Every structure is written in structure tokens, then in C-alpha cells.
Structure 1
Amino acid sequence: MKNRCHYKLKMKTNKKIEKRQKLEKDPDENEKTEKDLEDIIDVDIDVFHPVPEDIHDIAGLLKRFIDVHPFHRMDMADLLIAQGKEGLGIGSVVSTNEGEDVVGIISCIDLDFHRKHNGVADCLDFFSQLISKYKSGASDKLDLQTSSSSQSTNESTWKDIIKQGCRTGLFLYERLVNIPQELTPHLYRSLISEIARSTSEKNKKSPSYLEKPQMRLDTILVCSRIGRLITDMPEFGDSEDEEGDPRAGKGKSRKEKDGKKKRKKIRKAKNDFNEETSIFFHPEDEIFLKYKIDSFIFPIEDDPFLKAGEGVELRGLLYAISFDNFKKAADELFDFFSVDRAELPKKPDE
């Protein structure tokens, strides 16, 4: 077993992945759905600071973080591990199987301090391209419509958020979808506490990667994902030719023709994203967006749901929030997930 320290707890979690719980169910399937939701198992969840042995698991979790844009994932994973070095830094991994299987990573990276790092530079390049393309004025139609009272910011404001000298932290919480949601508020509270500790003048044992014990943040940048149920997708029925062969016919098959119709309808409805029609793949985004400085959505090239024909369209979601409001929203997660605010039990040192 890896040498670690942090939290250990036992929780109940649904076997069914979160995405399927969120999809609309056919009324005739209600009985089966209720049975699925009641199907729970006991799971041991460990939350540790990352160690070098986690590098491949963390890199795997980052696979779709910036879509198909070139990304030095191993370098980024190495940086995330360095930030948690010796338990004095920032960030945690969520694991099962007594720490052997990493199923989640939560951390925050100082964008300005690490902007020359390969993985961070890749992210900054990706964000810069998105801002230039979707916040230049003509593309504001891709803004996510939420109940937030904040007004859409312009391209220059977004560029200020990631420019050299910015005091912005890049937040990451990449995880498998079946991680218990009850853990989420505690992970956020732990991360915020670690960031606060790194800014404390009393922190005399700061890791060498920081060079100094300050991590001054004014803004948090979050790159997440959001989905939309495709309700206008045509239903495909089998068509028979004169010989009774399903989906056969002269020239192009009915399936091929319907396929064209399907793609056309999906393109037509792509910008119809709002709080009512959207699926938050990270449910806590719904709370953070209430306090956003600004947000916008962007197309995803590597959309596994659309490729599988599962009736869900995936988009990227980029939003900025002040660090003070990030802390406020994180505190609201306990009520949002109906979780006790009591501290998690600490795992004894080994």
C-alpha cells in the first residue's frame, strides 16, 4: 500500500453512474428506475495527498480536460503531485482499494506562477483560443443562460483573467462519475483550507515548488463540461424493401438518409443551452455559476455521448468566479448535497 495520509471514510454510493440518473426516463420504466436507485453498495473512500505512483491515474483523469487540444498530461500530473508533496501543499486524490485506484483529483494551480510549465502553457493556449473565438462579440450567443445577475464580460476582461501577472487559480476536479457526491463539499473545504494555509506567513515549511509560502488568488478559473438532452432527435424505424429486408432499399439506405437528418437537427439545436435543459456533469457548477464573473460554453470535438447515440450533447463550460465567491459557494455545497458539515474522520498515520 502507498505511504499516504489524509482522510478515510466509508460511504454508500449508487452503482448506476450519475449520468444515467439524470437522463429522462420513460414512464413505463419507473419501477425499474426506482429499483436501480435503491441498488447501493458500501465503498471505502480514501482521500490523500497525491504521490508519484499516482501519475498515470491522474494523467488518465485529465484525458478530456481540454478536449483534443495538445496537452502534456503527464507533465500536468507531475505538477499536481508536486503541489501535494509531503502533505504540505495543495490538492488531493480520491481513491478506492486502499489507495491503489485513483478515481478523482482536486487541486488548484497558480496560473501566473506556473505559466511556463508545459501542461499549464497548453491550458492557457487552449483558453486563449476559446476567448478569442467565443468572446469577441459575434459569438456571445454561446453564453450559458443562467439566473446569475452578472453581465457578460468582453474579450479584454477574459484575457486579463489569464494574462501574465494575473492572480488566477486554475481549478481542477476531474473524477469518475460514480464518486459519492456527499464527498464533494468536504473536498472543496479541504482545498480552500490548503490554499489559505499556503498564503499564511506562519507557513514555514512551504514546498520548494512555491519558492515562497504565498499563493495569492483573486479569481478562480474553472473548465468543466455540460450536457443537453437532445429531445428533437428523430426516432429511427425499420423500413423494408420489396423483399422484406429491414433498412434496405435502392441507392442510399433509409438509415443513411435518417443519419443525415439526425445530424442536421443536432446542429440546428446546438445553442439551446440553459439551466432548464442542461445536465451539469459536475453538479456543483450549478451553485458556482450563481456567483460567476462570466461564463460561456464551447463545442467539444471528442463527444463520447453523441458518438454513441445516447441522446446527450456534450459541450465545454468555462467560467470565472472571484475567490471570495468561490469560498462562499463552496460552503453552500453542504446544503446543496444535504451533507453534514462535521469534519470527516482522519485516517491514522501508518
Structure 2
Amino acid sequence: MGKRKSLNAAKAETSQSSEGGSDEDFDMLDVEFEWFDPQPAYDFHGIKTLLQQLFDVDAQLFDLSALTDLILAQPLLGSTVKVDGNETDAYAFLSLINLQEHKDKASVSKIIDYLRQKAASSSVHSPIAELLSGPDTPPIALVLTERLINVPSEVTPPMYSMLLEEIQWALEEKEPYHFSHYLILSKTYTEVVSKLDEEVDRPKKKKKSGGSSPTVLYFHPEDEVFERHAICHGPYKYSTKQDEGHSDSKRAFQEMGIKPLGHMILVEAEKLEEAVKDIAEYLKPQG
């Protein structure tokens, strides 16, 4: 059963433009989304695929099968979003892992080490590095969430609202979900000059000398809202080297290539509810 009755989402754009049309000539679909508890019988493949998308080129560094099993072992915490019923793959998901509770599991320990190294590499993330570098892992909730590229952001606020309720219910049952911080793992990207265009039109394209750092852009617009409530936030570079054509392989309906980056946002536990309310207002369907 859906954990809430079906909600009508905004029209979702397909990822392909109509043949012979302009880049703005998209097919439009009315889609009704449903929210479900994670189901071990149906959701292993869908959640693991979304985790691979979330970790991007560094996904190979982790045991995502074990991480998916851990997410599915707590079915009353978090949500999946689907279109054609509970037995289909998730289009989006949201869950969290108690880093203190599961620090001794190999799949979680690997992620803690990875995040510690990334946080230590930039002063922007120093509060995260400090939390993860102590002798004891604090009660931090690692928030994992991802959605397919053309799923509208409006599916996100219900997932977070339900998560707040589920955490409260879990606390009433004396379960280990009393957190000091929420560490949201996400993705951003920068735009880079296409290598393909440089090859085709080399005489007309010259690299600019100097200049400011490239603008960091968001895959998840809700991250901008979380950052207003955060202790710290910022991108980090992936560990896995990307080949020359990687940015162009992610180029879609635009001139620039895309360079994905990991992104971390640290929010104190008492700030999460206010942040979720602001996200609901920010992503409120128009009209």
C-alpha cells in the first residue's frame, strides 16, 4: 500500500526533444506519483541503481549491494516514489543511515572513511572533518536521496515531511534515531567547455586566462534551501579519474559539457524541521 494516497505531481518533461524540433520542443506527460515504504521484495534493484547515480564515478568504491540491504532493513524509515504501483522500480528514494549505529559494518565504515577524507581536503568542510575524525562516531544521520533526471523536484517535500514523522515515531519506540546532525550527501556540477566543440571549431575558441572559479550548479534545487540552514556545505571532487570524454557524455541539449561533483551539507538536528518547511514552500507547485 502507498504510505499516503496518490498525489498529482507537476508535468514531467521527457529527456528527449521532438524529432526535428527545437531544444525547447519537449513532449509533456501528466504523471501521478505514489509514495511507498521501501520494500525488500521489490526495491533492491531500483534503490541500488539510484545509489550508483548518486555516487557517480565513485560508486565503484563502495559495496552498494550491502548499503541497499541496510536501507531495506529499515522499511519504516524513508520513502520510495513510484508511478505504476508498489511492485515497480523506484523513480526516487529517500533514506538515512545512522553512522554511529552502523559504523562497524564494512559498507558504512568505507563511506565514513571516504567522507572524512573528502571533508579533510577542504576548509569549507572542516566541521564535518572534525565530527568524523574523533575517536567515537557521533550520532550523525547520513541522508541518502536521489531521483531520475526528469522526475520533478515537487516529489521531494512529501518524502522529507514523512521522514520527520517517521523519526518521531521511532524515537517514541526507543529506536536509535536521536541524531545530533544530518549529513546530506548530494551532487552538483560545473559547466565546462566541450572538447568536441574545441576540436571542430578550434580557431574560434580560446581558453580565457585567469578568471573566477566556475559556478557550482545544482541537480537538486532543494539543496540550495538546505544550505541556508547548514553549518557548512560545499562540493568535493570525486576520487575516480574521469577520461577526456566524460563531460561530453553528460552533455544534453546544451553547448557546455557537465563535470559532476560530490556535495555535502551538514545541518544540526534542531534545524531540520524548519529547513523541510522552507523546502516545501520553495518547491510548492505553481498554479
- Segments ≥4 residues shifted beyond 4 Å: 231-234, 302-305
Match of residue 69 from structure 2: 78
Deviation at 1:118, TM superposition (A): 2.7
Give the match for residue 216 of structure 2.
Answer: 278
Aligned residue in 2 for 1:220: 182
* Secondary structure class of the residue paired with 1:292: coil
The yes-or-no answer on 1:105 pairing with 2:93 is yes
* Separation of aligned partners in 1, 2:200 and 2:9: 46
Between the aligned partners of 2:144 and 2:44, the Cα distance in structure 1 is 15
For residues 250 and 144 of structure 2, the distance between their equivalents in structure 1, rounded to whole angstroms, comes to 28
- The whole-number CA distance in structure 1 between the counterparts of 2:133 and 2:164 is 21
Q: Counterpart of 1:158 in 2: which secondary structure?
A: helix
What is the rounded CA distance, in whole Å, between the counterparts of 2:159 and 2:133 in structure 1?
A: 25
Distance 1:115 1:307 in 2: 37
Question: SS at 1:320's partner residue?
Answer: strand
In 1, Cα distance between equivalents of 2:23 and 2:196: 24
Q: 1:46 to 1:234 in 2, by over 3 A?
A: closer
Q: Distance in 1 between matches of 2:281 and 2:153?
A: 12
Say whether the 8 Å CA contact 1:298–1:315 is kept in structure 2.
yes
1:325 corresponds to 2:279? no
Q: Does 1:194 align with 2:156?
A: no
Aligned CA RMSD, in angstroms, stands at: 3.3
Q: CA deviation at 1:307?
A: 4.5
Q: 1:332 to 1:15 in 2, by over 3 A?
A: same
Hey, what does 2:34 align to over in structure 1? 46
CA contact (8 A) 1:124 1:162 kept: no
* CA displacement at 1:305 relative to structure 2: 5.5
Structure 1 residues 186, 161: closer, same or farther in 2, change over 3 A? same
Contact 2:10 2:285 in 1 (8 A): no
Q: 1: CA distance between counterparts of 2:156 and 2:219?
A: 13
* Farther off after superposition, 95-104 or 297-306: 297-306
**1:82 positional shift:** 1.1
Residue 61, structure 1, aligned to residue 36, structure 2: no
Matching residue's letter, 2:198: F
Identity %: 23
Q: What is the distance in 1 between the residues matched to 2:65 and 2:170?
A: 24
Where in structure 1 are there 5+ consecutive unaligned residues? 22-30, 144-152, 204-211, 240-253, 341-350
Alignment CA distance shift 1:177-1:234 (3 Å) = closer
1:158-173 matches, within 5 Å, as 158-161=129-132, 163=134, 164-173=136-145
Provide the TM-score with structure 1 as the length reference: 0.67
Q: How far does the alpha carbon of each residue in 1:256-314 deviate from its partner, in whole angstroms, 9 at most, with x for none?
A: x99xx99xx69x88x824xxx33211110000111111123211337686142622221
Which residue does 2:12 correspond to in 1?
14
Indicate the structure whose relative CO is greater, using CA pairs within 8 Å and at least 6 residues apart: 1
1:122 is matched with 110
Deviation by residue 1:41-72 (Cα, 9 ceiling, x = unmatched): 12231211111121122111111444425211
* Residues 1:127 and 1:213: Cα distance change in structure 2 (over 3 Å): same
Asked if residue 92 in structure 1 is aligned to residue 108 in structure 2, the reply is no
Query: Larger Rg: 1 or 2?
Result: 1
2: CA distance, partners of 1:161 / 1:48: 32
Aligned residue identity for 1:333:
I
**1:335 Cα shift?**
1.8
Structure 2 distance, partners of 1:330, 1:231, is 36
CA contact (8 A) 2:185 2:264 kept: yes
* Whole-angstrom CA distance in 2 between matches of 1:34 and 1:330: 32
The aligned residue for residue 154 of structure 1 is 126
TM-score normalised by the chain length of structure 2: 0.80
Summarize the Cα distance change of 1:305–1:339 in structure 2 as closer, same or farther, 3 Å threshold.
farther
Assess, with a 3 A threshold, how the Cα gap between structure 1 residues 130 and 93 changes in structure 2: closer, same or farther: same
Name the CA distance, whole Å, in 2 between partners of 1:6 and 1:302. 41
Please state how far the C-alpha of 1:218 moved relative to its aligned partner.
1.4
1:149-169 Cα shifts (integer Å, max 9, x gaps): xxxx636x6232564240210
